[in-house]
Structure 1
Amino acid sequence: MRLATVSTENGPVAAAVVGDQIVDLTRAAPALPRTLAGILALGDVGLSAVKAAIESGAGRGPLLRESLLSPIPAPPKIWAIGLNYAEHVRETGKQFPEFPTVFAKMPTTIAGPYADVQRPAVSEQLDYECELGIVIGKRCRHVSPENAHKVIAGFTVVNDFSVRDYQMRGGQWVLGKSFDGHGVAGPWIVTPDEVDPHALAIRTIVNGETRQESNTANLIFDCYRLIAWLSSAATLEVGDIIATGTPGGVGVMENRFLVPGDVVRVEIDGIGHVENRIVQEPDAVEWIDEPTAAVAF
């Protein structure tokens, strides 16, 4: 199945994608939670209800690209892995890792599959990274590699946009990876029964030029080993996203950074693609939010 979150006049809702149609699950299966994370938390019961909703033919409408949001708009955690393809390790000149290199992206980085992405007002070193994303479907801890497949809800496409000068300042990986809107994910989640996560062609195309191209067979640490490693330290929760690393060809290696007007497309065969236009963030302006609710105490 392909599971998505779409924007409607009633707000974001969980949906299934069938060919060129969407199945609005709030209409086809109103007893289900409105969010995809809520449905995934129900496990097999939730997925069976989605299958029944698809087969009923109810709640169908045309699939509109502009309606697709990130499938998990508010992930509890976004885990990311560095240096996980041999060609990327070689191009950086670093040593091959003995253990996975882990950092985090903040939830405010999440952006939809076709949203505009801002080049920051404070940097001109915006870069792309095509990555396979794992979506966690069961709360878990200390999961063995042999059982890791049991906790995966599905797979998605990720572009781990990176602000390289911030990343390199004192090794600030988290900050350089956590600019607002720099964690594109989508266009949907493909369930594990439909793809082999370790045999997927992956590429980045900028303005029609292929900049990155590899296969997830080349991951140094595969999806199951990553889940085992991460869950040895922290509880994985439903809706967590693991971005599994990028192959060689990132822009920083040739000083080719993204500029406004560029269109960046990341494709993973068997899953789909995301495509984002780069726009310039307006000049930095300080602002501090203040409470607006009128409450009498």
Structure 2
Amino acid sequence: MKVAVFGPDRRVGVVHENTVVDINAAYAKYLAETTDTARPLVEAAAAVPAQLNAFIEEGARALEGARAALEYLTDQAQDARGVTGEQLRFALDEVKLHAPVEGASRILCALANFADHMQSAAENSQRADTEATLQRLLAGGPKFFIKDHRAVSASGDPLRYPARTERLDYEAEIAVVIGRAGRDIKGDDFASHVWGYTLFNDWSIRDNVAFGPDFAYSKNFDSSATVGPWIVVNEGQDLQDIPVECRVNGELRQSGNTSSMVHAFAALGEHLSRDTTLLPGDLIASGTPKGTAVDSTRQEADGSLPGTLFLKPGDVVEVSSALIGTIRNEVVKPTD
């Protein structure tokens, strides 16, 4: 099931055959037309909520209700109008899909989590201290940073080129979405806390990056976390076998798979949940494979990076997976 957030009211929808179905309203219709319930709208609000995090928290009941409503609407219903006559099904190209992240959900990002990415960066560095830093990042347990949830953007949103950089980079990633709250989660139990997975572009500033107190500054700016286009839920996919690619202006730059993560999602979940409760709707991003501009560019002796492969206004970046879909964004001028 592909669960999206759509429209001006940011309602939960299920993507089906190039349409998105308002699944809360569709479930109310299902109840009104197939049961003797006196208050279908009230029951639907409780069982199949219209807002994302409430829908996630409702767990199996919401997914089962969504599945029943979709089957009824597709195979049995006489029309595609809701209890109050509202439209239930919308063409994907007619509605705005928002990033499937709600409210204060945390975006927790793995750092230095693909060996080929880090090795390529080390090989392209002419500074011994840079290579030593990269090797330290690979050593030991998981490393992570936080993206501001208010910096989230959706597929189709323009990416305003940050005025403070001359080296803007892309990072194609997979993110898992937490479905069941947990603290001190054991790695072998982490999968039971995962609700689904989605695409993630970790836009990054690469000018004079230092892995210290200011590192988060290079990772956070308006629209710097593109998520979507939807969350794939409950399809039995091995989280450590999800492909991901990145294209810039149609040119393939990255092609990887979560099977190559240094620390698997289970290890990340165990690490991040120590003394901290992971909550429904939180995201954990995988880290990125080889092929970013920074790991593909030969560093000058003074530590500077030639700008050829870095993004510029007008570039179109697509992050995709055969198991999910595609998120696409155009980089625009800082003044746009």
TM-score (norm 1): 0.89
> Given that residues 258 and 286 in structure 2 are in contact (C-alpha distance below 8 angstroms), is that contact kept between their aligned partners in structure 1?
no
Q: Determine the C-alpha separation between the residues in 2 that align with 1:121 and 1:259.
A: 11
After alignment, is 160-169 or 228-237 more displaced?
160-169
Say how many residue pairs are matched: 281
Identity of aligned residues (%): 32
SS where residue 199 of structure 2 aligns?
strand
Which whole-Å deviations, capped at 9, do the CAs of 1:219-238 have from their partners, x for residues lacking one? 11111111111111421011
* Residues 89/117 of structure 1: CA separation in 2 closer, same or farther (3 Å cut): same
Q: Match of 2:57, as an amino acid?
A: A
Which residue, 10, 13, 18 being the options, matches 1:12?
Answer: 10
Amino acid at match of 1:39: F
> Kindly tell me: are residues 106 and 15 of structure 1, through their superposed partners in 2, closer, same or farther at Cα, counting changes over 3 Å?
same
1:43 corresponds in structure 2 to: 59
What's the secondary structure of 2:289's corresponding residue?
coil
Deviations 1:235-270 (A, max 9, x none): 101111111100011112314211110000001221
Amino acid at match of 2:115: A
In 2, Cα distance between equivalents of 1:45 and 1:28: 15
Q: Which moved more, 1:60-69 or 1:121-130?
A: 60-69
Segments of 4+ moved more than 6 angstroms: none
Deviations 1:111-159 (A, max 9, x none): 0122111111222221100000111111110111111011111000000
Alpha-carbon deviation of 1:218? 0.6
1:293 alignment counterpart: none
Shift of 1:17: 0.6
- 1:245 — aligned with what? 287
Residue 210 of structure 1 is matched in structure 2 by: 252
- Contact kept in structure 2, 1:75 and 1:241, CA below 8 Å: no
1:282 aligns with 2:335: yes
| From 137, 146, 149, the counterpart of 2:191 | 149
For residues 54 and 162 of structure 1, the distance between their equivalents in structure 2, rounded to whole angstroms, comes to 39
Q: Does 1:60 align with 2:89?
A: yes
CA distance in 2: counterparts of 1:233 and 1:65, whole angstroms: 44
Aligned partner of 1:232 in structure 2 is 274
Structure 2 counterpart of 1:83? 112
- Measured against aligned partners, the alpha-carbon deviations of 1:160-189 in whole angstroms (never above 9, x if no partner) come to 001122743855221111111110000000
One-letter identity of the residue aligned with 2:170 = Y
In structure 1, the gaps of 5 or more residues are 284-297
Task: Identify the structure with the greater strand proportion.
Answer: 1
Contact preservation (8 Å) 2:49, 2:62: no
Contact 1:144 1:228 in 2 (8 A): yes
Relative distance call for 1:197 and 1:75 in structure 2 (3 A) is: farther
Unaligned residue ranges in structure 2 (runs of 5+): 28-43, 74-79, 81-87, 123-133, 298-306
The answer to whether the 8 A contact 1:152-1:192 is kept is no
Residue 56 of structure 1 aligns with an amino acid whose one-letter code is: Y
Amino acid at match of 1:134: V
Whole-Å separation in 1 of the counterparts to 2:52 and 2:194: 14
> 1:287 matched to which residue of 2?
none
1:192/1:222 Cα in 2 relative to 1: closer, same or farther (>3 Å)? farther
- Of Structure 1 and Structure 2, the greater helix share is in 2
**Is 74-83 or 263-272 further displaced after alignment?**
74-83
Distance 2:100 2:218 in 1: 24
Please report how far the alpha carbon of residue 109 of structure 1 lies from its aligned counterpart in structure 2 after TM superposition. 1.4
What amino acid sits opposite 1:68 in the alignment?
Answer: L
Asked if residue 198 in structure 1 is aligned to residue 251 in structure 2, the reply is no
- Give me the CA root mean square deviation: 1.8
Is the contact between residue 267 and residue 274 of structure 1 (CA under 8 Å) also seen in structure 2? yes
State the SS of the aligned residue for 1:147: helix
Greater shift, 190-199 or 85-94, is seen at: 190-199
What is the CA–CA distance in structure 2 between the aligned matches of 1:145 and 1:192, rounded to whole Å? 19
Q: What letter is aligned with 2:323?
A: G
